Amino acid sequence: MAKTIVITSGKGGVGKTTSTAALGAGLAMAGKKTVVIDFDVGLRNLDMIMGCERRVVFDFINVIHGEAKLKQALIKDKRLENLAVLPTSQTRDKDALTRDGVEKVMEELRDEFDYILCDSPAGIERGAHMAMYFADEAVVVTNPEVSSVRDSDRVLGLLSSKTKRAEKGEGPVPGKLLLTRYDPARVTKGDMLNVDDVLEILAIPLLGIIPESPSVLKASNLGMPVAMDEESTAGKAYRDAVQRLMGQQIEHRILAPERPSFFQRIFGRTA
């Protein structure tokens, strides 16, 4: 029976899609059958970050409307055999996400996968609501920055009231914090909120700290989830977060940003 996890934040541009791709790839690398679903109807991007944008034929919305079978819409990753992508529609809007339709697709995925990761759109409207509604757990992606923390707090409120779990009286969907774009140097200087401040304000457990890293942009450009980048500090941090997501106790570490070595600078093999 699969675990359904929503990757959410409220605020846009904090790294939900990057994190969905990275956590999905990390889980697949750890041997878990994983599917990542794009809920951002009309602004599909998970397919690009996963590098399968040229292979999209049918999508989540086609499946919801009975125009295609789930099997036809799922795109198997070419690099990781345990990983699949369910892309969304680029032409329709969020109203195409019906609650019954989403539920039916989720039920069908539950039989086949160990992890279902739902990539939420920004905001708190229908797309975000549907992404979180059937979740067992939430990963709240937050930047160490005031508006992002505020929006995350708002989303935590919704996780405890506007979800199936909450409506059935089973309590809130438990959220874990994934702090992204963390810059230890700026934290030391006192320019950036530190992880303890954010944890104190949001009062949820910490899933991981992803350092600001040039390898994230590089990975997006190449369509390769950053967790697959062996050298990247962000990749390492995501792989640690994946272990924690699977229930392992791994000590939190704040990874220093990668700096090109002397030889890398000379010979141009920089990250």
Partner 1 sequence: MNLLSLFRRQRDKTPAAAAKERLTILLSHERVDVTRPDYLPMLQQDILAAIRKYIDVDENKVDVKLERAEGMAMLEVDIELPGGNSPVRIRGGRGIEAPA
User: At CA 209, angle to CA 205 and CA 212, rounded to 5?
Assistant: 155
CB of 72 or CB of 188, closer to partner 1: 72
Dihedral through CA 165, CA 168, CA 172, CA 176, nearest 10? Answer: -10
**C-alpha–C-alpha distance, residues 75 and 83, integer Å:** 9
In the range 223-242, which residues lie near partner 1 by CB under 8 A? Answer: 223
In the range 44-103, which residues lie near partner 1 by CB under 8 A? Answer: 48, 53-58, 62, 67-69, 71-72, 89-92
CB of 198 or CB of 226, closer to partner 1: 226
CB of 71 or CB of 154, closer to partner 1: 71
| Residue 108 interacts with partner 1 (CB under 8 A): yes or no | no
| Residue 34 interacts with partner 1 (CB under 8 A): yes or no | no
Under 8 Å CB-to-CB from 105, ≥6 apart: which residues? 60, 63, 64, 70, 86
| Residue 266 interacts with partner 1 (CB under 8 A): yes or no | yes
Beta-bridge partners for 37: 86, 118
CB of 169 or CB of 268, closer to partner 1: 268
Tell me the Cα Rg of the chain. 18
CB of 54 to partner 1, least distance (A): 4
Contact (Cβ atoms closer than 8 angstroms) between residue 219 and residue 226: yes
Number of residues that bind partner 1 (CB under 8 A): 27
**C-alpha–C-alpha distance, residues 78 and 139, integer Å:** 26
Site string for partner 1, 160-199 (x = CB under 8 A): ----------------------------------------
Give Dmax (Cα) for the chain. 61
Residue from 176, 186, 218, 252 in contact with partner 1 (CB under 8 A): 218
Backbone angles phi, psi at 99, to 5 degrees: -60, -45
* Residues near partner 1 (CB under 8 A): 48, 53-58, 62, 67-69, 71-72, 89-92, 217-218, 220-223, 265-268
